């Protein structure tokens, strides 16, 4: 009977270690998921910014060649910001839209 007590104590200790290890693994997994999400978001933003930069460079070159100055309306800047995936409404201004997400507040501002 005396041999069983240390065995159960060892099992209880092992169980505690396993629970602590499982908690650590769960925390690592959660942090990894957050990093993957942030990395994906940054990659998408980076790609959009590269596209915008290419558009800007192309339009800037064509502007210089033709030497035409066209005035844009004040709402066109908001349209561009919204098309780049950012809110333009008062409540969420500057926050990133999820892919495919639309905002009724932004639409109200843009399409009055």
The residue that leads in pLDDT, 76 or 13, is 13
Q: What is residue 55's predicted lDDT score, i.e. its pLDDT?
A: 83
> Model's pTM, two decimal places?
0.44
Q: What is the 3-state secondary structure (H, E, C) of the chain?
A: CCCHHHHHHHHHHHHHHHHHHHHHHHHHHHHHHHHHHHHHHHHHHHHHHHHHHHHHHHHHHHHHHHCCCCCCCHHHHHHHHHHCCECCCCCCCCCECCCCCCCHHHHHHHCC
pLDDT reading at 26 higher than 50:
yes
Average pLDDT score over the chain:
82
Mean pLDDT of 8-31: 95
């Amino acid at each position: 009977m005396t041999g069983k007590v240390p065995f159960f104590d060892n099992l209880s200790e092992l169980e505690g270690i396993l629970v602590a290890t499982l908690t650590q693994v769960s925390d690592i997994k959660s942090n990894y998921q957050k990093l993957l999400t942030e990395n994906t978001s940054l990659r998408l933003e980076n790609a959009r910014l590269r596209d915008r930069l290419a558009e800007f460079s192309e339009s800037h070159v064509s502007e210089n060649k033709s030497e035409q100055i066209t005035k844009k309306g004040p709402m066109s800047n908001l349209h561009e910001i919204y098309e780049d995936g950012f809110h333009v409404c008062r409540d969420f201004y500057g926050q990133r839209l999820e892919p495919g997400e639309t905002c009724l507040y932004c639409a109200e501002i843009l399409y009055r």
